[in-house]
Amino acid sequence: MQFLDFEKPIEDLNQQLEKLKALAEKNNVDMSASISELETTIDKTRKNLYANLTPWQRVQLSRHPERPYTLYYISQICDKFTELFGDRNVADDKAIVGGFAEIGGEHVMLIGHQKGTNTKQRQLRNFGMANPEGYRKALRLMKIAEKFNRPIVTLIDTPGAFPGLEAEERGQGEAIARNLFEMINLKVPVICIIIGEGASGGALGIGIGDKVVMLENTWYTVISPENCSTILWHSWDFKVKAAEQLKLTSKDMSSFGLVDDVIAEPEGGAHNQPEAMAESLKKYILDTIKTLSKIAPEKRIEQRIEKFSNMGFYEEL
C-alpha cells in the first residue's frame, strides 16, 4: 500500500500494526486485543482524515498510483469484453481503450482513458494523454453503438490531451471539437463517468452525455492546478491554492450543476477498496441505463442540448 503525504498518520499506525502482528507471531503470544484496538484506531483516523479532504488532497487521490483505471473496471464489471482498436486513419491510440461490453446483461459500448500501472505501461499508455487518433477511435466506436442502438459509457481519466507535435499536425483541436459536435446528437443513451483526473478538453472530448458524473475523489475542470499555478501565479508553488480557487471537486461541480451525480467512494478512496468501487460503478451504470432508456431518443438529445446550453453565469444589464 502506498500512502500519500496527508495519510502519514495512517501510515504510522499501519507500521505499528505490522510490528505488533510480527511480534505476536514471533513470540507466539495472543495480542489480538491490542491488534483489534489498533485497527479500530486506524479506521477512526482514516474516517476523520477523509471526512475533511481539501481540494488538493482529492487531486492527489485522483492520481493515486494504485487507483483503478478503465481496464481494471472492465475486468471487474463486464461479463464479456471485446476490445476494438484503431481510428481507421492513422493508428491505434493506447491512451484510450474501448470495445463491446456486456455488463449485467446489458450490451454497451465502453470507452475510457487508460493509464499505465508501471513505468513501461505508463509510457505505452502515454500517461493517459490521448492523441487525435484516440478521440477519433472513440467517435468511431460511438457511431457503431448508435447504429446498433447500444448505450455508451465513457470512463474519463486524463491529465489532458497530448500536447505533442504530431498531435497538432493531425488536428488535436479538430478531433476534440468533432467529438463534442457529434456526441451531443447521439441517438443512444450516453453516460460519462470521471474516474480519476478530468483535465480540460482532453476529458471533455469523451465527456458529452445525458449523465455526466464524478466519482467522489476526482476532479474536473479547465486546467490542472499545476498549470493554472504556472500561468496565473507565474510559479509552480501555488497548486494547492489553484486547486481551491478552481473549485474542481465533485462536490463543487455538482453544486454548480455542471455534473449530474456524484458516486461515493469507499472509505479511504477507490484504491483502498477497488472491488467495492467497481460494484458501485456497475450499479450506477445499470440503474442509469434503465432510467435513460425510458426516454425517447429525440427527447434525450433535446435535454442534452438544453443541459449544456444552460451552463454559464453572466448578467443581463
Partner 1 sequence: MTWFKRITKGISTDTKEKKEVPDGLWHKCSSCKETYTTDVLVENLFVCPKCQFHNRINAPQYFDILFDDGKFEELFANIAPKDFLQFEDVKPYSARLSAAQRQTGLKDAMTVGVGDVNGKKLVIACMNFNFIGGSMGSVVGEKISRAIDYAIKHKHAFMIISKSGGARMMESAFSLMQMAKTSAKLTQLANAKLPYISLLTDPTTGGVTASFAMLGDINIAEPKALIGFAGPRIIKETIRKDLPAGFQRSEFLVEHGFLDFIVDRHDLKQKLTDTIEWFGTK
Nearer to partner 1, 104 or 163 (CB): 163
Nearer to partner 1, 113 or 304 (CB): 304
The residues with which 276 forms a beta bridge, in sequence order, are: none
CB 180 within 8 A of CB 128: no
CB burial class (10 A; 0-12, 13-18, 19+) of residue 29? exposed
Cα separation, 282 vs 26, in Å, equals: 43
Q: Does 185 bind partner 1 (CB under 8 A)?
A: yes
Q: What are the backbone angles phi and psi of residue 240, rounded to the nearest 5°?
A: -65, -45
Residue from 15, 76, 73, 3 nearest 41 by CA: 15
The region of 4-12, 34-42, 62-70, 222-230 touching partner 1 under the rule CB under 8 A is 222-230
Cα separation, 241 vs 71, in Å, equals: 33
Smallest gap from Cβ 43 to partner 1, in A, equals 34
Residue length, the chain? 317
Q: Does 254 bind partner 1 (CB under 8 A)?
A: no
Smallest gap from Cβ 164 to partner 1, in A, equals 6
Q: Can you tell me which of 181, 264, 275, 291 binds partner 1, judged by CB under 8 A?
A: 181
Smallest gap from Cβ 35 to partner 1, in A, equals 45
User: Grid coordinates representing 49?
Assistant: 482524515
Smallest gap from Cβ 161 to partner 1, in A, equals 7
Which 3 state secondary structure label does DSSP give 267? Answer: coil
CB 210 within 8 A of CB 296: no
Q: Does 246 bind partner 1 (CB under 8 A)?
A: yes
The region of 7-15, 87-95, 163-171, 283-291 touching partner 1 under the rule CB under 8 A is 163-171
Q: By rule CB under 8 A, what count of residues binds partner 1?
A: 55
Binding mask 256-275 for partner 1 (x = CB under 8 A): x-x-----------------
Q: How would you classify the pairing of strands 190-199 and 211-215?
A: parallel
Count of CB atoms within 10 A of residue 152's CB? 26
Nearer to partner 1, 29 or 317 (CB): 317
Q: Can you tell me which of 1, 23, 124, 232 binds partner 1, judged by CB under 8 A?
A: 232
Binding mask 279-308 for partner 1 (x = CB under 8 A): -------------------------xx--x
Q: Does 56 bind partner 1 (CB under 8 A)?
A: no
Q: Does 192 bind partner 1 (CB under 8 A)?
A: no
Q: Does 143 bind partner 1 (CB under 8 A)?
A: no
The region of 6-14, 101-109, 148-156, 232-240 touching partner 1 under the rule CB under 8 A is 232-240
Smallest gap from Cβ 206 to partner 1, in A, equals 12
Q: Does 220 bind partner 1 (CB under 8 A)?
A: yes
> Residues 291, 143, 79, CA angle at the centre, nearest 5°?
60
Residue from 155, 96, 197 nearest 282 by CA: 155
CB 66 within 8 A of CB 271: yes
Which 3 state secondary structure label does DSSP give 96? Answer: strand
Cα separation, 287 vs 29, in Å, equals: 50
Residue numbers of the site for partner 1 (CB under 8 A)?
Answer: 161-165, 167-174, 176-178, 180-181, 184-185, 200-201, 204-205, 207-208, 220-223, 228, 231-234, 238, 242, 245-248, 253, 256, 258, 304-305, 308-309, 311-317
